[in-house]
Structure 1
Amino acid sequence: MEGRHPDLRIRFRPGYVEVVQADVVFPNRRALITGATGLLGRAVYREFKDNNWHVVGCGYSRARPRFEYLNLLDTSAVKEFVCEFKPHVIVHCAAERRPDIVENHPDSATRLNVEASANLAKEAAAAGAFLIYISSDYVFDGSNPPYREDSVPNPLNLYGKTKLEGERVVLQNCDNAAVLRVPVLYGDVEKLEESAVTILFDKVQFSNKSANMDHWQQRFPTYVKDVANVCFQLSEKKMQESSLIKGIYHWSGNEQMTKYEIACAMADAFNLPSSHLRQITDEPVGATPRPWNPQLDCSKLEELGIGQRTPFRVGIRDSLWPFLVEKKSRQTVFH
């Protein structure tokens, strides 16, 4: 089986990957996006592509036909891929990001979130590439917000611990790396379950049944297009001022909401009723522990002139319109 790209021909054989460079001169802006099949990865891929970078996205279970297949746990395949493509920038979006799944599958989650990240950092360093590692606000316990980049982490669950360890191994193995911590994300999902934000929409739409909504944990839902823009701006600034960009950065939406408030905002965005949504103000019991308020201080990036924020009601309307059950009857309202 062969994968094709304008500048790469990638042949997959049992046990190894063969990457053949075509007779093409590579442009001077090359980006490799891991996890390009995921919610954030797709947005990052589009951002670089729309800004005339030569970008290759790779994925695993959903890679074909749009993206290149790459098993990040296969160290030799990763090495060959990076050596042949010679990226200037690698944005590492691939991760197991679901806290409950991480708790239930700790070994596989650790291999992806930590071991694969360490290996990718080594290959980025060898290639002289700028690596952006996507991390999480869950590295903090949420008891004393807002959190700066130099605040002391204290993750409450295994997901946060693996992301924190991923940060450490990336920075240890690649001097030319940056960590970008972000909170809960939403955007153009392929299915509602793809985001912990958009998954609430069915409960919002079906108002004939009451729905309990958490009104305890404080979240800052963040649009993936805004995070993608931050990754792009960091990369552009890195190319211009190499010594300036490194270390840890934070980016986040600035609208503080519980899941109940998120659901009400969705209802408002689509002119739907919200009286069936019920506030649950008690701290969840028995679930994977989550930080109460892991708000991120984003002033470090803001002072660099980096970042953009899309109002939640604008971003969520753009994201959820395809999933609106009554969208045909409502088109005259919104269009």
Structure 2
Amino acid sequence: MERKLYLTGASGLLGRAVRTKFAEEGWTVYGTALNRISPVLHRVDLNDNIAVEKSLSSFKPNYIIHCAAERFPDRVQADPNKAEQLNVGATKNLVELADKLSVPVLYISTDYVFNGKSPPFKVNDIPSPVNLYGELKLRGEEATLETSSRNAVLRIPVLYGPVEKLSESAVTVLLENLLNASQPQEVSNYEKRRPSHVNDIAEICFQMASKTLQGSNIQGIYHWCGKEKFTKYEMVLKMAGVFELPHSHITAAADPPQGTTTRPYDTTLDTSRLDALHIGQHTSFADGIHSALKGWIK
């Protein structure tokens, strides 16, 4: 059987890793993007129902991974209508079209569906998002699971990996604090995070898709996160050690950041459901951040 993946958000940080992984494993990948088009990607506006239906009908996938989203909480807060269109409206349309074609969808969600007050969060814990981004991603989850019992949700934490610009990840952007050594920098030492390398998530998506096509019952909600816990300040110190950069200009801010979108405190996810399936992969933060950022160090 030919393995055909329809991948939304294929130009993004995670989408690029997923497309590469599946292509290397012999899958035919139809990657969609809106603005960052390349020879291996197709321009599809996910808010254009007719365009999505046409591309699905002509490609005839046997698996769909929905990575596309407005994933920056501050941008969601700044333009909630645009974010809702993509994170909820486009998701509903995609899963409904997929259901008509009897194709399973893996929806990429977020640890931000939780309030961060009582980790680790299990797959059956009741979500309680503290910002609009978490709320919209939760509604996308609900649309995905309500539309078809074939579908699955993968909740993941903050991601990092090879970036096209440092600001593409909330992790890699921290390098700017280190590189700007002429100015005192204050970095949050409050929220706890478990960053994951995009290659790890791509591997997990591949394993979930492969098991699905082999007849395994991969449906419902799954969690994955990195095995190391850091604050942003601790990530900066780790980067400083990896690249042997001075960091005396960096100080820790102990209180929650002011004037930004509210973030949950500790979104550690319980990964036992994937562990039981022997699905998972963890790249150490030191190794992952070195491979991701070595090209940015002069």
With the length of structure 1 as denominator, give the TM-score of the two structures.
Answer: 0.87
Provide the residue aligned with 2:81 in structure 1.
107
Q: What are the within-5 Å matches in structure 2 for residues 233-312 of structure 1?
A: 233-242=207-216, 244-312=217-285
Larger Rg: 1
Q: What are the within-5 Å matches in structure 2 for residues 38-77 of structure 1?
A: 38-77=12-51
Please state how far the C-alpha of 1:286 moved relative to its aligned partner: 2.9
Segments of 5+ residues of structure 1 without an aligned counterpart are 1-26, 326-335
Question: Using the alignment, how far apart are the partners of 1:295 and 1:121 within structure 2?
Answer: 28
What is the alpha-carbon root mean square deviation over aligned residues?
A: 1.0
Question: Using the alignment, how far apart are the partners of 2:54 and 2:9 within structure 1?
Answer: 18
Q: Deviations over 1:172-202 (max 9, x none)?
A: 1122110000010000101101000000112
Question: Using the alignment, how far apart are the partners of 1:321 and 1:294 within structure 2?
Answer: 28
Structure 2 residue matching 1:290: 3-state secondary structure: coil
The one-letter amino acid paired with 2:71 is R
Question: Using the alignment, how far apart are the partners of 1:109 and 1:147 within structure 2?
Answer: 25
Q: Deviations over 1:285-328 (max 9, x none)?
A: 23211000011011110110001000001000000011112xxx
Equivalent pair of 1:130/1:235 in contact (CA under 8 Å): no
Provide the residue aligned with 1:192 in structure 2.
166
User: What is the percent sequence identity of the aligned residues?
Assistant: 44
Structure 2 residue matching 1:46: 3-state secondary structure: helix
Confirm whether residue 320 of structure 1 aligns to residue 297 of structure 2. no
Question: Using the alignment, how far apart are the partners of 2:46 and 2:15 within structure 1?
Answer: 15
Choose which of 165, 168, 178 in structure 1 pairs with 2:152: 178
Provide the residue aligned with 1:34 in structure 2.
8
Q: Deviations over 1:110-143 (max 9, x none)?
A: 0100010011001111112121100000000000
Please state how far the C-alpha of 1:66 moved relative to its aligned partner: 3.4
Equivalent pair of 1:255/1:312 in contact (CA under 8 Å): yes
Provide the residue aligned with 2:52 in structure 1.
78
Once structures 1 and 2 are overlaid, which stretch shifts more, 155-164 or 286-295? 286-295
Structure 1 residue matching 2:152: 3-state secondary structure: strand
Equivalent pair of 1:213/1:280 in contact (CA under 8 Å): yes
Segments of 5+ residues of structure 2 without an aligned counterpart are none
The one-letter amino acid paired with 1:228 is A
Question: Using the alignment, how far apart are the partners of 2:101 and 2:3 within structure 1?
Answer: 14
Equivalent pair of 1:214/1:280 in contact (CA under 8 Å): yes
Question: Using the alignment, how far apart are the partners of 1:80 and 1:283 within structure 2?
Answer: 46
Equivalent pair of 1:72/1:112 in contact (CA under 8 Å): yes
Question: Using the alignment, how far apart are the partners of 1:229 and 1:95 within structure 2?
Answer: 20
Choose which of 173, 182, 186 in structure 2 pairs with 1:208: 182
Please state how far the C-alpha of 1:240 moved relative to its aligned partner: 1.1
Question: Using the alignment, how far apart are the partners of 2:10 and 2:207 within structure 1?
Answer: 18
Question: Using the alignment, how far apart are the partners of 1:302 and 1:104 within structure 2?
Answer: 37
The one-letter amino acid paired with 2:186 is N
Q: Deviations over 1:75-112 (max 9, x none)?
A: 11111111111111111000000101101100010010
Please state how far the C-alpha of 1:241 moved relative to its aligned partner: 2.2
Question: Using the alignment, how far apart are the partners of 2:231 and 2:20 within structure 1?
Answer: 30
Choose which of 195, 211, 227 in structure 2 pairs with 1:221: 195
Provide the residue aligned with 1:122 in structure 2.
96
Of structures 1 and 2, the one with the larger relative CO (CA 8 A, separation 6+) is: 2
Question: Using the alignment, how far apart are the partners of 2:37 and 2:65 within structure 1?
Answer: 16
The one-letter amino acid paired with 2:249 is H
Choose which of 61, 65, 83 in structure 2 pairs with 1:91: 65
Structure 2 residue matching 1:84: 3-state secondary structure: helix
Equivalent pair of 1:135/1:167 in contact (CA under 8 Å): yes
Aligned length: 298
Choose which of 93, 98, 109 in structure 2 pairs with 1:135: 109
Question: Using the alignment, how far apart are the partners of 1:264 and 1:250 within structure 2?
Answer: 27
With the length of structure 2 as denominator, give the TM-score of the two structures.
Answer: 0.98
